[in-house]
């Protein structure tokens, strides 16, 4: 591929110019030191001029293959490659468009109606996921309806299946992990199920039972540790007399939005009191999928690296919008309550917010997404710190009218004798003046 065709790909991808909230920058392999968002490798063969491509599952690399490229094919190749890139980035573009849809910035960009069909699925993903946070705590829980299994090799299993994912996500949030086991853990009595199906000789949980399955009253589930949200990942082994336990809709796992995930592992004749890492390997893979859904990792493209990078950019955009909105709310508040005193700490936080917002936007435009996310996190934290300054919050909820209501009862008893004394002094002064007039 020639540099001329590279320029054509760049032009086709950025056909909307500044009317689009996302810009592409196409460069040859020997480009800047900042990691590439997408690496495109073009191979040639003698089979067909139609372009075929495949994504690497673990790296942001797409391998495209087509027939030999001649100088006259530049336009066709540029069109084919730009279509491939747009297909790969389509979901991320729709997600960014959804984030901007309700913001003042939306008016600056072109109509995003082309993504309207994807908004519903994106909103479901957003509703299911935890709110963005700088840290999360993962709790892996083994709850057994009977006396076994009483232990599991969760450390080895997590090291093999979960830790690589957490390492990949470490640029977005920090994670802490713990595990627990509880025996004789009964299902919540608040649900009607499970019910016994005589035709299949199985116990079945209905869809309506899933949201209330967790026995919050008896199961030791902490709502949160430290400042981060707790993501609960539960493996439930039913009592032998309630085995096999199935779901009416099929499968053996489900997600509770913004709370965690649950899996059912039915004991077999080979089940022992200890679950080895090999035994729970499929369980951990399902936990990994549930964790990605709960963190809001996009469902596509197939490359995990690209999906995590897309989440990084979405988080950055969300934090920039949140910090900007909080600053705007602070400005409107100070204009409405002009008598409010603004501490120096608030002014300093506002300066830091603006500075880091500028740094985040600059890093985004340069393609340095890790630096952009770091700056956006600081900007959002400083904006929240400024808005919720304790001394200012007290003034907001204690306006001038309340001050009169508080101080008048206190000043009243003092004011009466002062007024009476003043009247007495005025009368005395008037009397003395009249006496001087008569004498004269």
User: In terms of residues, how long is the chain?
Assistant: 440
pTM: 0.82
Q: Return the minimum-mean-pLDDT range out of 74-78, 275-279, 293-297.
A: 74-78
Give pLDDT, residue 113: 64
**How many angstroms separate the CA atoms of 172 and 244, rounded?**
39
Count of domains for the chain: 4
More confident of the two residues 292 and 338: 292
Please indicate, yes or no, whether residues 35 and 98 belong to a single structural domain of this protein.
yes
Bond into 357 cis (ω within 30) = no
Say which residues have a Cβ less than 8 Å from residue 176's Cβ, sequence separation at least 6. 135, 136, 137, 138, 225, 226, 228
Is residue 56 a contact partner of residue 45, using CB atoms and an 8 Å limit? no
**How many angstroms separate the CA atoms of 155 and 183, rounded?**
19
- Could you tell me the end-to-end alpha-carbon distance of the chain, in angstroms, rounded to an integer? 117
CA distances from 96 to 11, 85, 326, 380, 422 (A): 21, 16, 20, 18, 71
Please indicate, yes or no, whether residues 272 and 414 belong to a single structural domain of this protein.
no
CA distances from 247 to 16, 107, 146, 207, 253 (A): 48, 46, 20, 7, 8
Please indicate, yes or no, whether residues 326 and 195 belong to a single structural domain of this protein.
no
Span 239-291, pLDDT tens digits: 999 999 999 988 999 999 999 999 999 988 777 789 999 999 999 999 999 99
Q: Determine the 3-state secondary structure of 237 from DSSP.
A: strand
Q: Are strands 39-44 and 61-66 parallel, antiparallel or unpaired?
A: parallel
Segments forming the whole domain that contains residue 56: 3-108
Is residue 209 a contact partner of residue 192, using CB atoms and an 8 Å limit? yes
Please indicate, yes or no, whether residues 431 and 404 belong to a single structural domain of this protein.
yes
Please indicate, yes or no, whether residues 261 and 349 belong to a single structural domain of this protein.
no
Give pLDDT, residue 338: 79
Is 28 inside any structural domain?
Answer: yes
pLDDT category at 72 given cuts 50, 70, 90 is: confident
Is 430 inside any structural domain?
Answer: yes
Is 380 inside any structural domain?
Answer: yes
Instruction: Kindly tell me the sign of the dihedral angle through the C-alpha atoms of 115, 117, 118, 122.
Output: positive
Give pLDDT, residue 414: 75
**How many angstroms separate the CA atoms of 222 and 341, rounded?**
40
In DSSP terms, 406 is beta-bridged to none
Tell me what the pLDDT averaged over the chain comes to: 86
Of 10, 4, 3, nearest to 81 by C-alpha is 10
Please indicate, yes or no, whether residues 138 and 275 belong to a single structural domain of this protein.
yes
Please indicate, yes or no, whether residues 423 and 320 belong to a single structural domain of this protein.
no
Neighbours of 114 (CB within 10 A): 12
Is 367 inside any structural domain?
Answer: yes
Please indicate, yes or no, whether residues 344 and 279 belong to a single structural domain of this protein.
no
Running DSSP on this structure, what letter comes out for residue 188? P
Is 123 inside any structural domain?
Answer: no
Structure tokens at 158: 């997590």
């Amino acid at each position: 591929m020639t540099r001329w065709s590279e320029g054509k790909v760049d032009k086709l991808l950025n056909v909307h110019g500044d009317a689009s909230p996302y810009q592409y920058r196409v460069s040859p392999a020997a480009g800047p030191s900042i990691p590439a968002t997408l690496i495109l490798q073009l191979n040639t063969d003698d089979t067909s001029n139609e372009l075929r491509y495949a994504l690497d599952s673990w790296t942001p690399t797409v391998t495209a293959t087509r027939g030999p490229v001649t100088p006259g094919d530049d336009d066709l190749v540029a069109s084919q490659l730009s279509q491939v890139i747009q297909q790969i980035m389509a979901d991320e573009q729709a997600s960014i468009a959804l984030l901007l849809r309700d913001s003042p910035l939306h008016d600056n960009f072109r109509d995003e109606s082309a993504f309207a069909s994807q908004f519903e699925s994106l909103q479901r993903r957003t509703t299911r996921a935890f709110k963005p946070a700088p840290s999360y705590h993962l709790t892996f829980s083994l709850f057994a309806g009977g006396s076994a299994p009483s232990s599991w090799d969760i450390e080895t299993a997590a090291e093999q299946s979960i830790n690589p994912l957490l390492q990949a996500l470490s640029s977005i949030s920090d994670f802490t992990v713990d595990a627990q086991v509880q025996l004789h853990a009964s299902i919540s009595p608040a649900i009607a199920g499970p019910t016994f199906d005589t035709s299949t000789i199985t116990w079945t949980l209905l869809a309506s039972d899933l949201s209330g399955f967790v026995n919050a009253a008896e199961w030791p589930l902490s709502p949160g540790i430290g400042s981060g949200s707790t993501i609960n990942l539960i493996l439930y082994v039913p009592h032998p007399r309630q085995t096999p336990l199935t779901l009416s809709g099929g499968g053996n796992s489900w997600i509770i939005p913004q709370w965690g995930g649950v899996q059912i592992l039915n004991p077999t004749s080979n089940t022992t009191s200890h679950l080895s890492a090999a035994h729970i390997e499929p369980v951990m893979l399902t936990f990994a999928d549930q964790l990605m859904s709960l963190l809001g990792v996009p469902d596509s493209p197939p490359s995990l690296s690209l999906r995590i990078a897309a989440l990084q950019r979405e988080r950055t955009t969300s934090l920039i919008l949140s910090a900007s909105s909080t600053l705007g709310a602070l400005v409107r508040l100070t204009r409405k309550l002009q008598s409010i005193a603004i501490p120096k700490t608030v002014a300093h936080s506002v300066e830091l917010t603006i500075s880091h917002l500028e740094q985040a936007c600059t890093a985004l435009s340069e393609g340095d997404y890790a630096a952009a996310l770091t700056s956006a996190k600081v900007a959002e934290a400083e904006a929240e710190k400024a808005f919720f300054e304790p001394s200012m919050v007290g003034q907001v909820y204690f306006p001038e009218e309340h001050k009169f209501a508080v101080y008048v009862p206190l000043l009243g008893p003092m004011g009466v004798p002062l007024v009476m004394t003043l009247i007495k002094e005025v009368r005395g002064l008037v009397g003395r003046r009249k006496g001087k007039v008569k004498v004269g």
